[in-house]
Amino acid sequence: EDIIVCRDVHKWYGNFHALRGVTTTVRKGEVVVIIGPSGSGKSTFIRTINRLEQHQRGDIVVDGIELTNDTRNIDAIRRDVGMVFQSFNLFPHLTVLSNITLAPTKVRKLPSHEADDIAMELLERVGIPEQADKYPAQLSGGQQQRVAIARALAMQPNIMLFDEPTSALDPEMIKEVLEVMRELAESQMTILAVSHELGFAREVADRIVMFDEGLIVEDQPPDEFFNNP
Ligand code: ADP
Ligand code: ADP
């Protein structure tokens, strides 16, 4: 089952042609790792999937929802597509638990006790239930990124996007975040991740997609990708 379909997607920033005809399909449960040089359009591409950026030409259909240039479907898309950024983007004045329960209570209108239960389950899943009452600044970078993942999962998305989720982390914290992503991949989540972690790509990805100058120039399973010259 195709969950993301992109046909000839173009994106300009002013005169700059950032996506120059991207065509690709992602199946439900697939893990796609996106690589490529800086400025090649990786981030722009995944941001078009949840409408943080709007494409100007071509078609994108996400989980059956056509992404058009009006605002009609934005809420549905944001609910369906979770995103984790390089910088953790947690709310500094909210506790870890409240960071996670905010969207479920405000957007999904869950009663707060239910949202708290879900948040605690997610904190256990990412391995830091004991940090629930702390504030983001009291956590390590790796812990903050795990909270960011839990926060995205709290909306029960069908697709998760990661934009260089470990690039801002010290080496010893990269592993713990990749481990959470690996478990997410094993749970059949559909994942698109921009990442330089080739070990992770090799072990976890179903496909490695390489961008160059706004186009997909390679799209292969890791075995082929790493064995071809
Ligand atoms: P990557 O993620 O591969 O590093 P990006 O998608 O972030 O690439 O950026 C692709 C190109 O588009 C870069 O040259 C970048 O400077 C440019 N770009 C990205 N965002 C904007 C923006 N908001 N306005 C203008 N140019 C942008
Ligand atoms: P990344 O490659 O991780 O996307 P960047 O440093 O390229 O990081 O971009 C950081 C932010 O700045 C993004 O929101 C991007 O859209 C914006 N940006 C990038 N390049 C430009 C640009 N040339 N003009 C305006 N905004 C830009």
User: Each residue of 35-58: pLDDT tens digit?
Assistant: 999 999 999 999 999 999 999 999
Enter the ipTM.
0.77
Asked if residue 200 has pLDDT above 70, the reply is yes
* % of the chain at pLDDT higher than 70: 100
* Residues in the ligand 1 pocket, defined by CB under 6 Å: 13, 16, 18, 36, 38-44, 211
Distance 84 CA to ligand 2 centre (A): 16
The span from the CA of 215 to the CA of 94, in Å, is: 40
The span from the CA of 211 to the CA of 186, in Å, is: 25
Distance 17 CA to ligand 1 centre (A): 9
Q: Is the CB of 43 under 6 A from ligand 2?
A: yes
Neighbouring residues of 165: CB distance < 8 A, sequence distance ≥ 6: 84, 85, 86, 145, 149, 177, 181, 193, 195
Round the average pLDDT of the chain to a whole number and report it: 96
Distance 72 CA to ligand 2 centre (A): 26
CA distances from 155 to 76, 77, 127, 134, 150 (A): 11, 11, 19, 21, 9
Of 171, 163, 168, nearest to 181 (Cα)? 163
User: Each residue of 75-105: pLDDT tens digit?
Assistant: 899 999 999 999 989 999 999 999 999 999 9
The span from the CA of 77 to the CA of 26, in Å, is: 16
Distance 12 CA to ligand 1 centre (A): 10
* % of the chain at pLDDT higher than 90: 93
Q: What's the mean pLDDT in 199-206?
A: 96
Token pair in block for residue 103: 């969207």
The span from the CA of 86 to the CA of 153, in Å, is: 17
Q: Are 213 and 20 in contact (CB under 8 A)?
A: yes
The one-character DSSP state at 87 is: S
Distance 173 CA to ligand 2 centre (A): 25
Asked if residue 229 has pLDDT above 90, the reply is no
**What H or E segment, with its residue span, contains residue 97?**
helix 96-106
3-state helix/strand/coil string of 173-221: HHHHHHHHHHHHHHCCCEEEEECCCHHHHHHHCCEEEEEECCEEEEEEC
- Give the pLDDT band of residue 218 (cuts 50, 70, 90): very high
Question: Which residue, by CA, sits nearest to atom 20 of ligand 2?
Answer: 39
Q: What's the mean pLDDT in 186-204?
A: 96
Of 169, 144, 156, nearest to 94 (Cα)? 144
Question: Which residue, by CA, sits nearest to atom 9 of ligand 2?
Answer: 43
164 - beta bridge partners?
A: none
Q: What's the mean pLDDT in 118-124?
A: 98
Pocket mutation for ligand 1, best pick of 9, 11, 16 (most atoms within 8 Å of C-beta): 16
Q: Are 29 and 192 in contact (CB under 8 A)?
A: no
Q: Is the CB of 195 under 6 A from ligand 2?
A: no
Q: Is the CB of 98 under 6 A from ligand 2?
A: no
Distance 38 CA to ligand 1 centre (A): 9
Asked if residue 228 has pLDDT above 90, the reply is no
